[in-house]
Homo-oligomer: A and B are copies of this chain.
């Protein structure tokens, strides 16, 4: 067990972040409903009346607060701890939707929540300590390790192959192309967000890091990665059902981020085998819980149909047969595609 002085801060920030982001979905949706009731035009069919609805803006601000808390959390605790805790935002929004929006939570969804919590507890108990870092050059050195450079190089090659070879051919039929690009870029986003966050933390503590070019380089990387990621996430959500994109994306993105963090920040150095295995199991449990929550989300609306659409082994084959066949509840859930690209679990 044992925490450094920073880990608890990062942990609390990650929890707050999940709370804010989870709540923001509900507040925004309540705002969208109210706007639709007032104007008679829903956001999904092109209305913009929600921009006049204070509740929608309250939700937007809640989300931004959550994102900022998440960003700061990465400066205080290892990504291995912060990233999986993001799953808790899904629980918060599922529970609030049940009580405030009166959306029925499926019994298996409750099981998914229980699992996410149990898995998170195991991860938190065994999380490694955040390494002491005193300058951006130290992070730069970590990023320049051969192993991490190899990881970055493979990510870039894979992303380029996916973008230029696979996306034009299979992008519209295979859900793994766009989500793959997002997840690969996402792992680099988080690493650069962590580097930038740590630099800013040091700057605020009185050790100005803005004088070093490395800080600005990391900022550039953050922007590039996040923009690429959002661009392809939008494409994925425009092409496929959220209920399919979200769990696949969450699993791939979280796994790759943890892999990147373990390579770059050597999170597992000095940890016992038992702790590492416990963390991996906790992580698998959180992933399973998330999948279960997502898959069962639409059970009551269109029971066996979405179940098969979401986790069928021949997913691709089914998707080939055309998107129209699948329920597309994008607008129902977040109101507009601008909202969606700001949704947290899809950003990082």
Contacts and interface: CB of A to CB of B under 8 A. Distances in A.
Interface of A: 1, 107-108, 111, 114-115, 118-119, 121-122, 125-126, 272-274, 277-278, 281-282, 284-285, 288, 291-292, 295, 299, 303-304, 307, 311-313
A274 B125 contact: yes
Contacts of A299: 304, 307
Contacts of A122: 122, 278, 281-282
A311 B307 CA distance: 17
A238 B285 CA distance: 35
Contacts of A278: 122, 125-126, 278
A107 B294 CA distance: 14
Contact of A115 (B1, B125, B277, B285): B285
A285 B119 contact: yes
Given A108-B307, A118-B281, 6 more contacts: A108-B108, A118-B285, A119-B285, A126-B274, A299-B304, A299-B307
Given A1-B274, A278-B125, A304-B304, A292 B118 contact: no
B277 A111 contact: no
B121 A281 contact: yes
B311 A108 contact: yes
> How many copies of this kind of chain does the complex include?
2
A108 B304 contact: no
A272 B1 contact: yes
A107 B288 contact: no
Contacts of A295: 108
Contact of A107 (B272, B285, B304, B312): B312
Contacts of A273: 1
A281 B284 CA distance: 13
B291 A111 contact: yes
Contacts of A307: 108, 299, 303
Q: A118, A126, A284, A304 — which one has the most chain B CB atoms within 10 A of its CB?
A: A118
A38 to B, nearest CB: 35
Q: A111, A121, A291 — which one has the most chain B CB atoms within 10 A of its CB?
A: A111
A205 to B, nearest CB: 30
A318 B255 CA distance: 42
B121 A288 contact: no
Contacts of A126: 274, 278
- Return the 8 tightest CB-CB contacts between A and B, nearest first: A107-B311, A118-B281, A1-B274, A303-B304, A118-B284, A125-B274, A122-B281, A121-B281
B312 A277 contact: no
Contacts of A118: 281-282, 284-285, 288
A118 B277 CA distance: 9
Contacts of A115: 115, 284-285, 288
A184 to B, nearest CB: 24
